[in-house]
Each structure stands twice: as structure tokens, then as C-alpha cells.
Amino acid sequence: MKETINVVWFKRDLRINDHQPLLEASNLGLPVLPLYVVEPDYWQQKFSSSRHWHFIHDCLIDLNVALTQLGQPLVVQVGDANDVIKRLHLEYNIQGIYAHEETGNQWTYQRDISIRKLCRTLGVALHEYPHNGVVRKLSSRDDWSAIRNQRMAQKIAPKPSSLAPLLTCSSIPVPDKDHPMFGKPFVGTVQQGGRTLAVDDLKGFLSHRLSQYLYHISAPGLSSTYCSRLSAHLAWGSLSVREVVQSVKKRKQQLNVEEKSDLVAI
């Protein structure tokens, strides 16, 4: 008899904090299969780069550690996402797939459409959650700002307390950074990824760079010092946009209070 599970499909949301699909799936009492699919066709596209994979690799290593601590390690598969879902459907009784709407490009958008069709065919419920500031199916562009601001103001979702582990589970190791699947090795360095460094970079921005960010971000000699260093973390989801928005807002309020205190002291 096949084991009944829920699948959480990680894409550009490589974290366990402020991750609504993971939290929702973890609360249902069934074993959770946390899935990351390495899609070879994606890495053949002109927009992909081995530089991206170096960052993602770091994120996946951190994510696996975090998920293991919750009770169920990350499951990594290589192949077309549709084929991977079909294989899992044969192996497990999948009650639902939980995922964020991916903010990518036409390739990932079309892939997600094909996954929705596949899930309907297989009779598997697909639960998709909004991610970042992108609002799909807007009836009017004038509505975007209010919806986006409402999302950013919502309470940050806590990480799950635990995950019910799978009885049986097969996974491959995260492919090496210089695996030929990801293209030719690049010359130079790349920012390190992962949740641990994402939090460090955010703390450094809030503590040291934020107050001078707007004044120096366009200055060639100073922008590298005062930039946020958060872009890659936001692109691949080791931080959520909501975490950054709320952290920056809180820090600006603190700076305003400190500035007013200094004026009173004078």
C-alpha cells in the first residue's frame, strides 16, 4: 500500500521561515516530502548561468540542514518536473502539492502551467500561494499597490515546529557546483548563498549600510560599500520580500527615534 503524503515543491523560496506552503503542509499531520527539482532543460537556456547554480547550491545545503532538523531532509531529483511528479505519483499517494507561485520568466511560467494540467489529470490537488510582490490575475493595474502592501504587512509565517518524516524516501545528493549540466565554469567569484548568510547580510544592511544607502547607491566609488547585498537572496528566496520590507521599516523607525533623541540632547 502506498504511503499517503503531501509534497512541498521548493523553487525560488529556499528557506523554511516565512514559507506558507511548508507551514500549511506541516499542519496537516501527513508526512511531508520537501522536493527540489534540478531541471536540466532550464540550465540549457540562455538566461541560466553556472554562477546562479553556485548560489543555489549553497541555499540547498542550508535548506537541507534546516529541514533535517525539522525531521525530514530535502529530497532532490533531477529531470523534467512533470516526469518527477509522475514518478512520485506512482510511488506515493500524494494528497496535495504545496508551492509558491514562481516569479521567474516565460520558461518557468509555462512549466508551471504544464504542472497544473498534470495535477488535474492525476487528480492531485495543487495549492499555490502568492510570493514576492507579484500579483497574478489582476483585473486592474490600479489594484496592485494596495494588494502588494497588504501582503507585505501580513504577519511573517513561523517556521514549522516539526515535519512528519517519510517512511521511505530516495534522494540524490545536491549536484556539484561545477557539474557540466550547469554550463561552463565561470571566471571570478560569486556571492555565497544560503539562509545563514542571508540573515547576516540583512543584519549588516540594517546596522551599517541602510542609513547611507540612498545617498551612495548611485556613486561608483561607494555603491559597492553601501549596496544591500540582498538581491540574490531575494531572487532565490533565502529571504522573503516580506521579511526584508518589515525589517527595513522597523529599522527606519528606530533610526528616526535615535535622530529625534539626538536633537533633544542638543
pTM, two decimal places: 0.92
**pLDDT at residue 162 in the model:** 97
Q: Is 136 helix (H, G, I), strand (E, B) or coil?
A: coil
Q: How far apart are CA 74 and CA 81, in angstroms?
A: 16
| Cα–Cα nearest to 94, from 121, 71, 73 | 121
Question: What is the Cα–Cα distance from 135 to 101, expressed in whole angstroms?
Answer: 10
Per-residue pLDDT of the chain (266 residues; tens, 9 = 90+): 899 999 999 999 999 999 999 999 999 999 999 999 999 999 999 999 999 999 999 999 999 999 999 999 999 999 999 999 999 999 999 999 999 999 889 999 999 999 999 999 999 999 999 988 888 888 888 999 999 999 999 999 999 999 999 988 889 999 999 999 998 888 888 999 999 999 999 999 898 887 777 777 887 877 777 788 999 999 999 999 999 999 999 988 887 766 555 555 55
Q: Which three cell numbers stand for residue 164?
A: 512528519
CA gap 135, 151 in Å, rounded: 10
H-type alpha helices, the chain: 20-26, 50-70, 81-91, 106-122, 144-153, 195-204, 210-216, 223-226, 231-236, 241-265
CA 201 and chain centroid, separation: 16
Q: Is 32 helix (H, G, I), strand (E, B) or coil?
A: strand
- pLDDT for 9: 98
Cα 30–33–38 angle (5° rounding)?
165
Delimit the CATH 3.40.50.620 region(s) of the chain.
4-156
Using CA atoms, how far apart are residues 87 and 221, in angstroms rounded to an integer?
53
Q: Please provide the size of the chain in residues.
A: 266
pLDDT at 100: 97
Q: What's the pLDDT score for residue 261?
A: 56
Distance CA 254, CA 238 (A): 25
- Residue 97 parent element (H or E): strand 93-100
Q: What contacts 68, CB < 8 A, 6 or more positions away?
A: 74
Would you say 154 and 163 are in contact if contact means Cβ atoms under 8 Å apart?
no
Closest CA to 75 of 189, 177, 163: 163
What is the spatial distance between Cα 72 and Cα 5, in angstroms, rounded to a whole number? 12
Alpha carbons 55 and 136: distance in angstroms, whole number: 27
Pick the CATH number of 4-156 from 3.40.50.620, 3.40.50.2020, 3.40.50.10320, 3.40.50.720: 3.40.50.620
